């Protein structure tokens, strides 16, 4: 075979490999995360819309509170309040930066909206003791829960933190944001679920 034919076959093989990888990635990505089905909150706020392409019920999962009691997200949904579900860890700098804003909003409207600040516990870098100590040290007043079996992270396909999910009174996910949000965006997200 001459060099041009070998080069052509190599390029065609490389392109085929890239196409297969992209298709496989897209297929796996669609199976992994329900968060992929909603847009960043800033886009919805800009459009003034809470419309979803399809209603997405919030996946249920178990968590524990500071006293070690097991609770389920469905219990909070049954209470009929909108829910702000935030996934975080104490070692995550953007999580740490947004927490004072969450605490301020919680102190202002925490009786109208259920805040679930879900600490992603891995048992090594992040433990219940580390997460509790962090909250106490910073004087945060919002309710903190712990995802000790990673049920919440798996149910919501969490790939990066912080991630915030806004759930309406009926238990449907309205919107969410991956990455740090500020007080203004948090309040606007809450307005979409009230």
For residue range 47-89, what is the model confidence (pLDDT) as tens digits?
555 554 457 899 999 999 999 999 999 999 999 999 999 999 9
pTM: 0.75
SS3 48: coil
Are the C-beta atoms of 120 and 153 separated by less than 8 Å? yes
Are the C-beta atoms of 139 and 13 separated by less than 8 Å? no
With a CB cutoff of 8 Å and minimum separation 6, the contacts of 89 are 95, 119, 120, 125, 126, 131, 161
- Domain 37-193 matching CATH 3.40.30.10: the answer reads yes
For residue range 166-193, what is the model confidence (pLDDT) as tens digits?
999 999 999 898 899 999 999 999 999 9
């Amino acid at each position: 075979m001459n060099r041009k034919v070998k080069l052509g076959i190599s390029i065609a093989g490389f392109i085929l490999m890239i196409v297969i990888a992209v298709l496989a990635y897209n297929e796996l990505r669609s199976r992994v995360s329900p968060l992929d089905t909603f847009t960043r909150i800033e886009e919805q706020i800009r459009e003034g819309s809470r419309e979803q392409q399809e209603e997405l019920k919030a996946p249920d999962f178990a968590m524990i509170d500071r006293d070690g009691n097991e609770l389920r997200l469905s219990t909070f949904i049954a209470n009929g309040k909108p829910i702000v579900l935030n996934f975080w860890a104490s070692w995550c700098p953007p999580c740490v930066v947004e927490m004072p804003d969450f605490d301020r909003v919680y102190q202002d409207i925490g009786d109208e909206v259920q805040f679930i600040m879900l600490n992603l516990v891995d048992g090594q870098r992040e433990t219940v003791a580390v997460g509790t100590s962090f909250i106490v040290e910073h004087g945060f007043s919002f309710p903190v829960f712990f995802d000790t079996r990673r049920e919440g992270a798996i149910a919501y396909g969490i790939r990066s933190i912080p991630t915030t999910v806004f759930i309406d009174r009926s238990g449907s996910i309205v919107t969410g944001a991956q990455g740090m949000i500020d007080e203004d965006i948090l309040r606007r997200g809450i307005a979409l679920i009230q």
